[in-house]
Amino acid sequence: MNLLKSEFRKLVYTRSFYGYIAGAIFLALLSSIPAAFSVNALKAQLSGSSLMDPQMVDGVYGKATGGYLFALIMGIAIMGNEFQNGQAISTFLATPKRIKVLYSKLIVAAGAGIIMMLISTVLGFVGAYFGLSYYSHAKVGSSTFFSLIIAAVVSGAVLAIMGVAIGALVRNVKIAMGGAVIWLQVVEKLIVLFWITGGKYLPSGLIVRNDECKNHPEVTAEIS
Amino acid sequence: MSIIEFQGLTKEYKDVVAVRNLTASVEAGRITGFLGPNGAGKSTALKCLLSLAAPTSGTALIRGAKYENLVNPLKEVGAVIETGGFNPSLSGLKNLRIIAASAGIPDARALEVLELVDLTDARNKKVKQYSMGMKQRLSLATAILGEPEILVLDEPANGLDPIGIAWLREFLKKLAASGHSILISSHQLAEMQNTVDDVLIIHKGRLITQGSMSSVVGNGSLEEAFIRLVEASA
């Protein structure tokens, strides 16, 4: 418990932690608010589907989980900063059994990732709701809130843990973070572009709940 | 009674042997100077002692146990290893609270030790704004955070100005007077002569000599004895 408390303090004392949460919220809103407008603009290509279609609306709300990138970045920072600052020395002097340190970091990262994704996803829902509310014909309710919350919780934990692992392997925080951003925002999108069903095997596929992908792959590609 | 023991300690890094079959001991309740030229293996030996590096062979024990097996290391051994170990974006107080939490030490103790090292006024200042001397003091504050009986200090006077060195001398004397056992490595031989009770000298990873200050130095100075012993062992 002492070590968990210490790792928790390392996180909440650092201003960047709040920056990561703000970033996740920003990305969630950036993904969710325009999603309704994108679907409406593309309705001609959607074989008759529109914002009255529950699957389309679910897809719009699904964009609320768009802040996941910051769970990964935070995980990298939790581990990487330890080595970058030389803080690892005082950590290992207090807790020489390194595996305990690693477990504590994983637990704290997972918890923080969950909190981050819960906050950003709920605010993303609000953003999606306002986007949908712009259209009087849109169906603003969704049956997927619960499953999206579960997806956000799981992905927040898993991606933060993955971040800790990346931070342990790549000691340079900037390179690790840059690599993670390029992978999630460029490489994965290129992979999905050429192999659309392969998205579910990629880290971001963990969260981006592309139910609509089965029926409207072209829309998913456009609004993401 | 020996409180710290190196028993045939060897540490190799690829082709370099940093510490070679080091066998030595540190007596309880005394200040022991751990001396040697640059690259002699002092820091490596201390890192092995503190479980920050794994020995290639041999052991380094504190009260008969490896550091990593101590129940609450910070409450038994205080250490200063390199001037770092702090998050530069956080204040000295927050850094100490993080370390205190990991050992179950109350937060109030962080303020106490900051006062002991004369950093109370700078407690809320970010560590990156600290001078070298202030960082050394903060490192010392960390070392005494858990009120340990044993202190292992690697070059604590590095980067200190004359006032800082004088402060450190008094600080160590106070700790020694209150019964602490201190193992301190340093290059500042004149300073060491005034501070330590026993001397342990290594060169190229090997022990050259160990004993009380008077037995090692004789009638001359520590610097003279040090140069003579190091040259003789080369």
Q: What is the DSSP string of A36-73?
A: HHHHHHTGGGTTT--TTSHHHHHHHHHGGGTTHHHHHH
Interval A39-64 mean pLDDT:
71
A68: pLDDT confidence band, cut at 50, 70 and 90? confident
Interval A182-202 mean pLDDT:
78
Average pLDDT of chain B is: 89
What is the Cβ-side half-sphere exposure of residue B190, based on CA atoms within 13 angstroms? 3
Average pLDDT of chain A is: 81
Nearest residue of B to residue A94 by CA position?
A: B74
The answer to whether B143 contacts chain A (CB < 8 Å) is no
Contacts of B94 in chain A (CB under 8 A): 9, 13
Contacts of A15 in chain B (CB under 8 A): 89
Determine, for residues A6 and B102 on separate chains, whether the beta-carbon distance falls below 8 Å. yes
Angle at A63 (CA atoms; ends A62, A67), nearest 5 degrees: 120
pLDDT at B159 over 70: yes
Determine, for residues A94 and B68 on separate chains, whether the beta-carbon distance falls below 8 Å. no
pLDDT at A215 over 50: no
**In the block, residue with structure tokens 């201003």:** A15
Determine, for residues A85 and B86 on separate chains, whether the beta-carbon distance falls below 8 Å. yes
What residues of chain A, 5 to 34, have a C-beta less than 8 Å from chain B?
A: 5-6, 9-10, 13-16
Which residue among A13, A81, A90 sits closest to B85, beta carbon to beta carbon? Answer: A90
The answer to whether B85 contacts chain A (CB < 8 Å) is yes
Contacts of A105 in chain B (CB under 8 A): none
Element (H, E) at B201: strand B198-203
Give the model's pLDDT for residue B224.
84
Determine, for residues A89 and B70 on separate chains, whether the beta-carbon distance falls below 8 Å. no
pLDDT at A49 over 70: no
pLDDT at A37 over 60: yes
Quote the minimal CA–CA distance from B191 to chain A in Å.
Answer: 27
- Provide the sign of the torsion angle of the four alpha carbons A75, A76, A78, A79, taken in this order: positive
Angle at A200 (CA atoms; ends A198, A203), nearest 5 degrees: 110
For the record, the structure tokens of B126 come out as 């970010």
Starting from the edge strand earliest in sequence, which strands make up the sheet with B57-62, in order? B16-27, B2-13, B57-62
pLDDT at B148 over 90: yes
pLDDT at A211 over 70: no
Express each pLDDT in A69-87 by its tens digit. Answer: 899 999 999 988 888 877 8
Residue of A78, A84, A89, A104 to mutate for B, most B C-beta atoms under 10 A: A89
Contacts of A93 in chain B (CB under 8 A): 50, 52, 73-74, 79, 81, 85
The answer to whether A99 contacts chain B (CB < 8 Å) is no
Interval B72-93 mean pLDDT:
87
Angle at B119 (CA atoms; ends A105, B128), nearest 5 degrees: 55
CA dist B175 and A164 (Å) reads 40
The answer to whether A91 contacts chain B (CB < 8 Å) is yes
Amino acid letter, residue B28: A
Nearest residue of B to residue A4 by CA position?
A: B102
Contacts of B51 in chain A (CB under 8 A): 92, 96
CA dist B225 and B234 (Å) reads 14
Express each pLDDT in A110-148 by its tens digit. Answer: 999 999 999 999 999 998 888 887 777 767 677 778 888
Q: Complex ipTM, two decimals?
A: 0.87
Does the pTM of the predicted model rise above 0.90?
Answer: no
Which residue among A14, A94, A97 sits closest to B99, beta carbon to beta carbon? Answer: A94
Determine, for residues B102 and A85 on separate chains, whether the beta-carbon distance falls below 8 Å. no
Within 8 A by CB and 6+ apart from B12, the residues are B18, B56
Give the model's pLDDT for residue B34.
92
The answer to whether B123 contacts chain A (CB < 8 Å) is no
Give the model's pLDDT for residue A43.
67
Beta pairing class for B150-154 and B181-185: parallel
Which residue among B68, B70, B142 sits closest to A90, beta carbon to beta carbon? Answer: B142
Contacts of A14 in chain B (CB under 8 A): 87, 89-90
Nearest residue of B to residue A11 by CA position?
A: B98
Interval B49-61 mean pLDDT:
93
pLDDT at A40 over 80: no
For the record, the structure tokens of A99 come out as 């595996």
For the record, the structure tokens of B51 come out as 């479980």
Inter-axis angle of helices A15-41 and A98-133, nearest 10: 40
pLDDT at A98 over 70: yes
Element (H, E) at B185: strand B181-185
